[in-house]
Each structure stands twice: as structure tokens, then as C-alpha cells.
Amino acid sequence: MLSSGLLQLSLQTNPFKHPKDSIFSRPCYTIKAMAAPIPGTEVSFGFGNLLETLTVDVQRAECRPLNVPLISPFTIASSRLDKVKNVAIRIELKNGCVGWGETPILPFVTSEDQQTALVKAREASELLRSSPSMTLGSILEEVGGFLPGHEFASVRAGVEMALIDSAAKSIGIPLWRLFGGVSNDITTDITIPIVSPVEAAELASKYRKQGFRTLKLKVGKNLKADIEVLQAIRLVYPDCLFILDANEGYKPDEAIEVLEKLDEMGVIPILFEQPVDRDDWEALGHVTQIAKAKYGISVAADESCRSIDDVKKIVKGNLADVINIKLAKVGVIGALEIIEEARLSGLDLMIGGMVETRLAMGFAGHLAAGLGCFKYIDLDTPILLSEDPVFEGYEVSGAVYKFTNARGHGGFLHWENVLW
């Protein structure tokens, strides 16, 4: 294990075997421990070769419910949330490094509810505790086999976060550097859930004062009400940028009608996210074609993209312009594979989340900053919580998150305060 003291980092080319310009072959860092416990320690690490070179030996693995109240109910077209009911995951390696992860739960979007997630996270923890020491890549492969597909993607994401966080701490670098080091900050949008026009205007005014330039507006439940909310927001914040997120709420003709109404109002959203049902591929392609050709608006696939096979289907049929990456939908490793496929296919990328604390959001933010390939960033939900259970981690200044040189993602919980 490298010293947690001063580290000298210098860029060099990553020799890992993935294809040229792969996210796995982004620049890595030569780590020279200035006060290393092992004389002469000098090892090159990027995420790709870290998978093959770092041995992981799990000493403890635990999970607990992570319940946090919201400032106000979070309502989207498919569900309503009054309280975050996620799962926190803590993994301690035999070298003493502790990694933290979070399994986000959002009804009707994630497959798992909290109880199911707790059961599977406990089983995964037992698997890790009983596993022999192995490379990071091998243990992540074991986790992927135990928690496969979309059915357990959110639990898998939480476990992967904790393992990767502990691995980054083992070599003494922050995650944003591990994932490529393109930047150490991001700028997020802010979400306005489905509320009345008066409430939406109040929120828009508040967020304008806080420095948010882009508002993500939840729509899709009632077309007439959606238009009224948009009109109210435009009165108090006329020059804001809009993302519309229907969460599958519209029928195809309604999705096109809302674009027509907005065009009449002189409003052009920068993005129209998941306008129709996730499994209505024909409708998604139709709305995408009209939105792009007639109004110059890009359409993002969110709920429709839950695997790399979905991405390939979207690319083949030209069904969307943007892929929304959420770790809770596909896991961390799955997300990296989808990012690579989308980039090679010329699709733009968005990164988002469910309703999460700064544990999961911090990990996603490090990933976005390090890779530097996301056109749209929607990592705002910790701002919607009435409490922040996470200590340290990234620094927040309005819409800007800044990531420090703390090891891993830098955030942690006081475990004794997390209720069973």
C-alpha cells in the first residue's frame, strides 16, 4: 500500500490493452510515493491497468439502510418520492482502506426496492468477505456474475463504487484522476419536479439566484399543466436553459404537441429526455426524428437504455441522439462499456442519477469530471435533500462541484450513526 502522504503524479500513456482512444486507455498517472513504506515504489495506474494489477483482499463488507428526508416531495411522471430510502455499503480492505458506495432506489425506475436491495447487498457482502485475495478486475467480475443485468444493477453499482473507492485509496489518488484526470470540477443542472406553476416559479427564481443556468423540468403527467409551468418559469427566469424530462409520460403525439407549443412560445429546450414509453422503440425514433428535423432539439434515451444491447439498438435504428448514463441502471463497469460504445457511435452523453446522497453522486461526479466526455450533467439530487449525511467529499458552490485531491471519492459516513 502506498503512503497516504504526499504523492508526485506525472502523466504518461497508459499501456493497457484496450483499443486506442478507449476510456480504458485514457492517460494514467505514475505514482511516486514521497514517503512510501516500500522503498523504490513506482507503479503506473490508470483504471484499465488497475483492474489487472491491484490485488484486493476484503476484510469487512457491510450494508445498512440509508434513509434521508427530502426538502419537499419529488414527483415525476411515473412515481413520487417523499424520502430517500437507499442502501449504504462499506467495504474495508486488509490494508486498512475503506471504500463507500450507495445503492439508489427509485420506485418504477430501479428494479430493486430497499428491502430487496438490502438482502442482495448482504449476500454480496458475504461473498466478498469469503473471497480470497484477487485482482480488482477479477473481484468486480465476481460481483457482476452474482448481481447480473438490470435486475440487480443498483446493488451492483453500490458494491462496485465501494470496491473502486477502496482501490483508489489503496494507491492514494482521487477517482477523478483514476478515470482520466480531464477536469476536477463539473457544472450541474437543477431539477424542478412536477409541481404547480406557482411553486415552479418560486423554485426557478431561487435557483437563478444560486447560479444555476440550466433547469431540468419534470413533465409528462399532464400536457396542459406542463405548458402552464413552463410559462410561469419563463416569466421569472426568461434566459434559463431548459431540459424537459418526461420519464416515459407522453404518448408520441403528446410529445410532438409539447414541442409545437414550446415553439409557439419561442422556447427551445436544449434536450428532450425520454419522451415516451421505454419499450416503444418506434415512438422514440419517431419523436427523435421530428424533434431534430423540425425543431433542432436532441432527444435522450434514459429508461430505454438499460444495457449495452439497448445502446446498439438505438444506434442501429437512429432512435435517439443522446444516451443518459446512470450508474444505478447499469453499474459502474456497465456504464464504462456503454460510454465507450456511445462515443464510438457518435452519440452525445448525459450523466444523471436517481435520488441519491453525495456518496453516489460524488462517485458519478468524479467519473464525469475525470472522463470529460459528458455534454449534459444532471447530478443535483443531494441539493434536494433536507439533510446531508455525508462527511467531506466534493465542494459545492451553486451549480459547480469541485473535487479535491482526497483519496477515492473523498466522502464517508459516520457508520455508527447509520441506522440498521
pLDDT at 77: 84
The verdict on whether 17 is a catalytic residue reads no
Catalytic residue among 85, 120, 169, 218: 218
**pLDDT tens per residue across span 213-253:** 999 999 999 999 999 999 999 999 999 999 999 999 999 99
Q: For cell 467529499, what's the residue?
A: 393
Q: In the prediction, which pLDDT does 331 show?
A: 97
Q: Comparing C-alpha atoms, which of 95, 141, 87 is closest to residue 113?
A: 87
| pLDDT for position 12 | 31
Length of the chain: 420
> What is the pLDDT, as a whole number, of residue 109?
84
The answer on whether 302 is annotated among ligand-binding residues is yes
* Chain-centroid distance, C-alpha 365: 7
pLDDT in tens, 361-376: 999 999 999 999 999 9
Given this model, what pLDDT does residue 46 score? 77
CB-CB contact of 111 with 151 (8 Å): yes
**What is the tens place of the pLDDT at every residue in 135-192?**
999 999 999 999 999 999 999 999 999 999 999 999 999 999 999 999 999 999 999 9
Q: Copy the grid coordinates of residue 204.
A: 426557478
- For the chain, the distance separating the N- and C-terminal CA atoms, rounded to the nearest angstrom, is 32
Question: Beta 299-301 vs 271-273: how paired, if at all?
Answer: parallel
Residue 110 confidence (pLDDT) above 60: yes
What whole-number distance in Å separates Cα of residue 328 and Cα of residue 282? 26
What interhelical angle do 281-295 and 308-317 show, nearest 10?
A: 50
Q: What is the pLDDT of residue 208?
A: 97
Where residue 108 falls among pLDDT bands split at 50, 70, 90?
A: confident
pLDDT bucket at 419, cuts 50 / 70 / 90: low
Centre a 10 Å sphere on the Cβ of residue 232 and count the other Cβ atoms it contains. 19
Q: Is 32 a catalytic residue?
A: no
Task: Give the tens place of pLDDT for each residue, 76-101.
Answer: 888 888 899 999 999 999 999 999 99
C-alpha cell, 148: 447480473
Distance CA(310)–CA(111), nearest Å, equals: 17
DSSP letter for each residue of 76-99: -SS-EEEEEEEEEEEEEETTS-EE
The DSSP string of 396-407 is: EETTEEE--S-S
Is residue 214 within 8 Å of 245, Cβ to Cβ?
A: no
C-alpha–C-alpha distance, residues 155 and 143, integer Å: 10
* pLDDT of residue 417 exceeding 90: no
Strands (E), 269-393: 271-273, 299-301, 322-325, 348-351, 376-377, 391-392
pLDDT for 420: 52
Q: Is the pLDDT of residue 37 over 50?
A: no
Contacts (Cβ under 8 Å, ≥6 apart) of 378: 188, 189, 191, 216, 243, 324, 350, 351, 352, 353
Q: What is the pLDDT of residue 22?
A: 54
Q: E strands of 76-209, at which residues?
A: 80-93, 98-103, 134-135, 185-187, 190-192
Residues 363 and 178 sit within 8 Å (Cβ to Cβ): no
CA dist., res. 373 & res. 405, Å (int):
21
Residue 273 has pLDDT above 70, yes or no: yes
Active-site residue, selected from the candidate residues 326, 329, 375, 402: 326
Q: What pLDDT shows up at residue 416?
A: 83
How high does pLDDT run on average in the chain? 89
Cβ atoms within 10 Å, residue 371:
22
Phi, psi (deg, nearest 5) at residue 356: -130, 160
**Confidence at 418, pLDDT banded by 50, 70, 90:** confident
Range scoring the smallest mean pLDDT among 45-59, 284-298, 359-373? 45-59
Tell me the three cell numbers of residue 215.
Answer: 433547469
What pLDDT is recorded for position 80? Answer: 85
Cβ-based burial of 10 (10 A; exposed 0-12, middle 13-18, buried ≥19)? exposed
Portion of the chain with pLDDT greater than 90, in percent: 82
Confidence check: pLDDT of 116 > 90: yes
